[in-house]
Amino acid sequence: MAKFTTNAIAVKYNKTEFYISVMSAKQLFKNAKVSRAEEDPEIGFQRTLGKQRAVNIKKYLDDGNVIPGSIILSAQKNSELDYNSNDKTITFNDVANSFLVIDGQHRLYGANMSDINVLLPVCIFINLDTEQEVQYFLDVNGYQKGVPKTLRLELLKFIAEPTSKDAIRKGLFDSLDQELESPLCGKMARTKSVSGKISHVPFKAAIDPILDLSPLNNLTQDKRLKLIINYLTAIENILLRTFGKVDKLSNAAFFQAIMGAFVDACNLCMTRYGNYKIESFENVLEPMVNIDYDYHKGTNQQAIKELATAIKHSISMNHTISEDAF
């Protein structure tokens, strides 16, 4: 039977033994198996392979990136794995199903699909029974915590191209949080969701759709910021007169709704007054006071869309077209 040998480091901790090595993804793919719950209900425990995720990993690796996390394996009996302490190598039967993948199936599949010869770090446990394999799978995946979306968006500042939408949005986020004249000064949450503050996730949902539209797409960053501040200040003034407080402005759902009406308000402002001054926005947005906010108090996307529509409808109702226009 064909054998395969590779360098490895032996580790013993309490009663657990494993080896740390590096293997070619294509070699490992030939020798490894994944025990999926849907395919083998009796003993399977792995999740269904997300094919698109594997394709994304392939592309990531083809672009020259590396994924340093170890593929965690359990050596099966048919591997007949043997460790040589003299030359620090492991040797096993070069056959299918020699190893069971405990963690890293998507990395393995993506790396095997790659156009380049990807080397993967591996951690190989020995002498595990099925119960122990399942427990390791649950331990590894149960305690992992994904990076929060808002933190991921914050960290784009280190990698986004200066002229990209990500960089433009991040610049607006920072300036609205820092500029003293901004109604949202000190009310932005950079790394996690905080009640009463605008985090990156709702800010992205509110700002991205309008960055490519007029007037924002034709302005410098300074002018974009000034325009948004004027708009928010007008709404802040209206809220203060109507409710005696402005906490709605830093409510994530309300913020997304008012930014959903931003382009309409800008168009009306320019049509009526020829400018984007605060007082002009206030005149345009004044009909907002008639909206039933108790009715429009939901926070899901449908509720946000309905409130944005209500705002757009209220301000357009107050707009009359002169007979001289015809």
**Which residues, listed in sequence order, are joined to residue 90 by a DSSP beta bridge?**
6, 83
Render 150-165 in DSSP notation, one character per residue: HHHHHHGGGTS-TTSH
Q: Between residues 149 and 180, which one has the greater pLDDT? A: 180
Which residues is 91 bridged to in the sheet?
5, 82
> Would you state the pLDDT for residue 143?
65
> Please, which residues bridge with residue 124 across strands?
19, 73
Higher pLDDT, 163 or 208: 208
What is the structure's pLDDT at 324?
60
* Residue in the block written with tokens 């300036």: 175
d(CA 109, CA 3): 23
Calpha distance 326→324 (Å, rounded): 5
**H or E stretch at 272:** helix 262-273
Neighbours of 66 (CB within 10 A): 11
Q: What is the pLDDT of residues 95-137, one digit of tens each?
A: 999 999 988 888 998 999 999 889 999 999 998 888 888 788 7
Reply yes or no on whether the pLDDT at 42 is more than 70.
Answer: no
Tokens of 262: 């931003």
Q: Is the pLDDT of residue 285 over 70?
A: yes
Round to whole Å and give the CA distance between 125 and 16: 8
| Structure tokens given for 30 | 């030939």
Which of 158, 151, 218 has its CA nearest to residue 190? Answer: 151
| Residue 45 pLDDT exceeds 60 | no
pLDDT value for 40: 43
Residue owning tokens 């030939």: 30
pLDDT over 80 at 149, yes or no: yes
Output phi, psi for 215, to 5 deg: -90, -10
Q: What strands, in cross-sheet order, belong to the sheet with 32-33? A: 32-33, 99-103, 71-75, 119-125, 16-24, 3-13, 89-93, 82-84
- Average pLDDT over the chain, rounded to an integer: 89
Q: Which amino acid is at 115?
A: D
Residue 12 bridge partners (DSSP): 17
pTM listed for this prediction: 0.66
Give the separation between CA 81 and CA 17, rounded to whole angstroms: 12
Per-residue pLDDT averaged across 8-20, rounded? Answer: 91
What would the pLDDT profile of 217-256 be if each residue is shown by its tens digit? 999 999 999 999 999 999 999 999 999 999 999 999 999 9
Question: Residue 43: its pLDDT value, please?
Answer: 38
